[in-house]
């Protein structure tokens, strides 16, 4: 019986090769695309899920219900972690985590590595697999270091790294550390990344900050005891915050802060580890809404493909009505007809799934390269993901193949054989499905255009400095930045192509070292809490970045006292300090400390991404603090050769340090890579959605026009013109597309408005976006339908009437 069913199914599909090919093509494209999107969402939704006790691991953060802007901060002071462990038995383990770049030396070879400074409890909290060493004692000694398998391979090769000595530090301040363990590399979907783990007591700032409750420098992770409840512990932490952070309460109360729903104006709270990746405020990850949008797009595309499948099956079922009537009259049961027809649909679905899966496997490297995604082909065969995709396949097969099979098996054989079953007008189901798929495609197009406009807006927004013609060079850890800057100045002093050169502690944008730092200080000034970015700069910083000087002067070698508590401030800081003419005035950042004198005033400029509002900036000069980046402004006529020239100069100035120079405008653009990727994903998905929608519309139009062949012949015989026939055949479909636009445009406006609200600097929703989308959709749909309509209108009426 099964063999007969398969034979009949194959014969039926072979007889309708065009129908089968359209369905397999549409389904394979939909499955391939949805697999990419599901894998992307799968990657993010499984962030940090590999830890054994993930439900007991939390990140600590501060909540401030500031009347101006309630905020949460994940940066903690050094003494907080020991105090928590001592005062709260619910805390089973706690670890401070902060990173720093440093030079690692082994047998005369040097390596630049990122070191994670932490506590011994780190290995009790997180279950990164340990390849070598004892997990309980690996970080017990302050002189120990645990390295990743990649770092072990880089430094030691095939040699056993355990108990080997590494020298770590810079410029003669190296210390010897003993390798006590090797960890597997952190997975790509881990919030914590590492090259090596060291005790936090080795951090250069530890001794000065270990007792300071107002020096925020690192993140803290806690592992609660099995019986502990996070909500209960959070409530018990209220006396703790009042005890150690009284100033924060005082400042907020002076501002008129009121308690939030939990009764706090300032509180220490806990964020579950699995949510850290999606918390952009304290975790710096990806918003959960973006991941759910990707999931929604994947389901949209599958739904569009399913709609095409249903529409084609429903339309084709009426061409098979006589076959069903004959088989029923010969004794075939409804169940047999259902299984037969549904089996054909199942074969098409399985074929589309297999072809789509094969395409996904082959094209995954290209997808990773295009969207800079870390997706692994092996995930396709993981039990969870395989179960998800097989479930989607089963659901699509049942829904898309089951309904037409059920409908066809219900035909009355007598009416069918009499020719009474026909479909002169499209049914409600088919109309609804066409409207739905074009609404989803239109929605995706609107989202694509809006996301692209936002990215373009961010890139073109004035930053307060000139980003063109400036090259940023990360100093690295193998050379003293101040010495390297001096050497570069001497070598390039007489070069006409070099317009200015300076040094700083903070890069602008994201350079080739992929590093970003920020130093913020808060202080009380005349009863008001003031926060400012604390920026180390060198001579000619304003000249190099072409920042306007509103008043005063820049730092100048002619004034040696500039290194002693002299600062240049931005306009917004002057406003917060209440200074209309700040040059020459003083302010203190700590009670009893030497006051700072303002020597210059500059306009506000964006030190960081436009995803955040511009903040007050204080620029200071120092002969002691390390220079981390060198900026060089070059003439516009020498852009092509300037990078090579600087690379050559860097080899002389810092022979042991790799040259990682990049143009500042590229670094700025890199800040918006996530938004650009989202725009690309929307564009990719909307392209597939439009393709599938048009494919379905084309096939449905073909079926409908075939059913109206006699009508077309009669109209031509009675004198109808070709444009008139085309209009008659097209207007029903165009009405459906217009209905889809009426649904999609308000939905697109709502969703994209919510997304844009995340940006302090954003484009306004434009009527032009919706007009452009509407015209594009209407034109695409009209071209799709017109192809078949023109072909039918040009057909010889005698031939069409004779065929009937």
- Does 476 lie in the same domain as 437? no
- Does 444 lie in the same domain as 540? no
Task: Give domain status of residue 462, yes or no.
Answer: no
Question: CA-CA distance, 149 to 185, in Å (whole number)?
Answer: 6
User: Domain end: 669, 702, 724, which one?
Assistant: 669
Nearest residue to 166 via CA among 174, 156, 176, 157: 176
Task: Give domain status of residue 133, yes or no.
Answer: yes
Question: CA-CA distance, 616 to 383, in Å (whole number)?
Answer: 51
User: Domain end: 223, 246, 276, which one?
Assistant: 276
- Does 731 lie in the same domain as 709? yes
- Does 101 lie in the same domain as 25? no
Q: Per-residue DSSP letters for 480-518?
A: -HHHHHHHHHHHHTT-TTEEEEEEESS-SS--TT-----
DSSP assigned state of 656: T
- Does 697 lie in the same domain as 558? no
Which pair of tokens denotes residue 261? 């729903």
Which pair of tokens denotes residue 23? 């369905």
- Does 423 lie in the same domain as 548? no
Task: Give domain status of residue 438, yes or no.
Answer: yes
- Does 710 lie in the same domain as 575? no
pTM over 0.85: no
Question: CA-CA distance, 638 to 497, in Å (whole number)?
Answer: 6
- Write down the pLDDT at residue 672: 76
Question: CA-CA distance, 680 to 666, in Å (whole number)?
Answer: 18
Question: In angstroms, what CA-CA distances link 644 with 481, 653, 699?
Answer: 20, 14, 57
Question: CA-CA distance, 505 to 519, in Å (whole number)?
Answer: 9
Question: CA-CA distance, 228 to 234, in Å (whole number)?
Answer: 11
Question: CA-CA distance, 63 to 74, in Å (whole number)?
Answer: 9
Full domain range(s) for residue 209: 54-276
Contacts of 643 (CB under 8 A, 6+ apart): 471, 661, 663
Find the distance separating the first CA and the last CA of the chain, reported in whole Å. 36
- Write down the pLDDT at residue 172: 46
pLDDT, one tens digit per residue, over 673-691 is 766 776 777 777 777 877 7
- Is residue 199 within 8 A of residue 131, CB to CB? The reply is no
Question: In angstroms, what CA-CA distances link 16 with 138, 249, 589, 709, 755?
Answer: 68, 76, 81, 19, 45
Distance, CA of 406 to chain centre: 43
- Does 677 lie in the same domain as 663? no
- Write down the pLDDT at residue 219: 92
Q: Is 39 helix (H, G, I), strand (E, B) or coil?
A: helix
**pLDDT < 70 regions, the chain:** 1-19, 170-173, 283-285, 312-339, 341, 401-430, 477-478, 514, 591-592, 674-675, 678, 699-700, 702-703, 706-709, 717, 722, 787-788, 791-804
Q: Per-residue DSSP letters for 323-374?
A: HHHHHHHTT--HHHHHHHHHHHHHHHHHHHHHHHHHHHHHHHHHHHHHHT--
- Write down the pLDDT at residue 483: 86
Task: Give domain status of residue 281, yes or no.
Answer: no
- Write down the pLDDT at residue 801: 57
Question: CA-CA distance, 511 to 675, in Å (whole number)?
Answer: 18
Task: Give domain status of residue 258, yes or no.
Answer: yes
- Does 627 lie in the same domain as 697? no
User: Domain end: 669, 702, 732, which one?
Assistant: 669
Task: Give domain status of residue 463, yes or no.
Answer: no
Which pair of tokens denotes residue 537? 């700069």
Q: What is the CA radius of gyration of the chain?
A: 34
- Does 291 lie in the same domain as 252? no
- Does 475 lie in the same domain as 453? no
Nearest residue to 292 via CA among 29, 34, 38: 38
- Write down the pLDDT at residue 128: 93
- Does 269 lie in the same domain as 295? no
């Amino acid at each position: 019986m099964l063999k007969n069913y398969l034979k009949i199914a194959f014969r039926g599909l072979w007889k309708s090769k065009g129908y089968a090919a359209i369905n397999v093509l549409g389904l394979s494209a939909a499955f391939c695309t949805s697999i990419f999107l599901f894998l992307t969402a799968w990657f993010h939704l499984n962030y940090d899920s590999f830890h054994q006790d993930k439900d007991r691991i939390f990140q600590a953060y501060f909540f401030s219900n500031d009347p101006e802007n309630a905020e949460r901060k994940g940066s903690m002071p050094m003494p907080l972690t020991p105090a928590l462990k001592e005062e709260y038995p619910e805390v089973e383990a706690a670890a401070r985590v902060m990173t720093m770049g440093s030079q690692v030396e082994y047998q005369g070879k040097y390596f630049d590595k990122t070191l994670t400074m932490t506590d011994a409890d780190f290995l009790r909290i997180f279950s990164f697999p340990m390849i070598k060493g004892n997990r309980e004692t690996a970080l017990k000694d302050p002189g120990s270091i645990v390295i990743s398998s990649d770092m072990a391979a880089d430094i030691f090769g095939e040699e056993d790294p355990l108990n080997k000595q590494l020298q770590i530090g810079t410029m003669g301040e190296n210390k010897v550390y003993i390798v006590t363990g090797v960890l597997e590399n952190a997975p790509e979907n881990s919030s914590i990344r590492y090259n090596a783990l060291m005790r936090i007591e080795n951090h250069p700032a530890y001794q000065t900050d270990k007792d300071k409750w107002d020096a925020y420098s690192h993140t803290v992770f806690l592992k609660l005891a099995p019986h502990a409840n996070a909500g209960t512990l959070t409530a018990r932490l209220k006396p703790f915050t009042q005890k150690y952070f009284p100033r924060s309460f005082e400042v907020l109360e002076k501002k008129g802060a009121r308690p939030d729903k939990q009764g706090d104006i300032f509180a220490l709270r806990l964020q579950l580890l699995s949510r850290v990746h999606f918390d952009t405020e304290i975790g710096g990850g990806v918003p959960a809404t973006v991941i759910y949008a990707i999931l929604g797009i994947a389901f949209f595309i599958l739904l569009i493909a399913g709609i095409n499948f249903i529409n084609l099956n429903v339309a084709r079922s009426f061409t098979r009505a006589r076959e069903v009537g004959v088989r029923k009259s010969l004794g075939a049961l409804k169940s047999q007809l259902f299984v037969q027809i549904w089996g054909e649909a199942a074969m098409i679905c399985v074929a589309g799934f297999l072809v789509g899966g094969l395409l996904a496997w082959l094209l995954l490297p290209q997808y990773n390269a295009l969207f800079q995604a870390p997706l692994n082909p092996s995930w396709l065969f993981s039990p969870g993901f395989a179960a998800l995709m097989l479930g989607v396949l089963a659901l699509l097969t049942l829904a898309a193949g089951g309904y037409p099979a059920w409908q066809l098996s219900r035909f009355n054989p007598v009416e069918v054989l009499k020719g009474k079953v026909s479909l002169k007008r499209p049914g409600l189901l088919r109309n609804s499905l066409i409207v739905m798929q074009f609404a989803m495609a239109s929605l995706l197009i609107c989202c694509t255009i809006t996301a692209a406009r936002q990215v373009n807006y961010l890139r073109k927004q004035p930053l307060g400095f000139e980003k063109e013609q400036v090259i940023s060079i990360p100093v690295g850890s193998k050379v003293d930045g101040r010495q390297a800057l001096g050497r570069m100045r001497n070598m390039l002093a007489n070069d006409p192509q070099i317009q200015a050169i300076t040094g700083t502690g903070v890069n602008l944008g994201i350079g080739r070292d992929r590093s970003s730092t920020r130093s913020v200080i808060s202080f009380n000034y005349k009863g008001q809490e003031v926060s400012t970015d604390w920026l180390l700069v060198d001579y000619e910083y304003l000249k190099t970045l072409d920042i306007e000087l509103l008043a005063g002067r820049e730092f100048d070698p002619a004034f040696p006292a500039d290194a002693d508590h002299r600062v240049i401030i931005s306009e917004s800081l002057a406003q917060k300090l209440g200074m209309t003419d700040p040059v020459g005035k003083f302010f203190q950042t700590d009670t009893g400390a030497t006051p700072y004198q303002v020597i210059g005033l500059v306009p506000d400029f964006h030190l960081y991404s436009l995803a955040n509002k511009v903040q007050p900036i204080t620029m200071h000069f120092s002969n002691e603090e390390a220079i981390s980046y060198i900026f060089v402004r070059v003439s516009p006529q020498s852009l092509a050769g300037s990078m090579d020239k600087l690379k050559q100069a860097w080899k002389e100035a810092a022979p042991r340090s790799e040259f990682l120079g990049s143009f500042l405008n590229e670094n700025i653009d890199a800040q918006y890579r996530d938004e650009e990727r989202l725009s690309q994903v929307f564009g990719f998905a909307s392209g597939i959605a439009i393709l599938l929608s048009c494919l379905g519309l084309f096939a449905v139009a073909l079926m409908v026009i075939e059913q109206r062949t006699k009508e077309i012949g009669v109209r031509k015989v009675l004198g109808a013109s070709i444009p008139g026939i085309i209009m008659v055949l097209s207007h029903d479909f165009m009405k459906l597309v217009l209905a889809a636009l009426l649904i999609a445009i308000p939905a697109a406006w709502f969703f994209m408005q919510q997304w844009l609200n995340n940006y302090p600097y954003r484009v306004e929703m434009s009527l032009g976006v919706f007009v452009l989308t509407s015209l594009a959709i209407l034109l695409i749909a009209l071209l799709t339908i017109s192809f078949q309509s023109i072909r039918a209108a040009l057909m010889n009426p005698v031939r069409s009437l004779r065929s009937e």
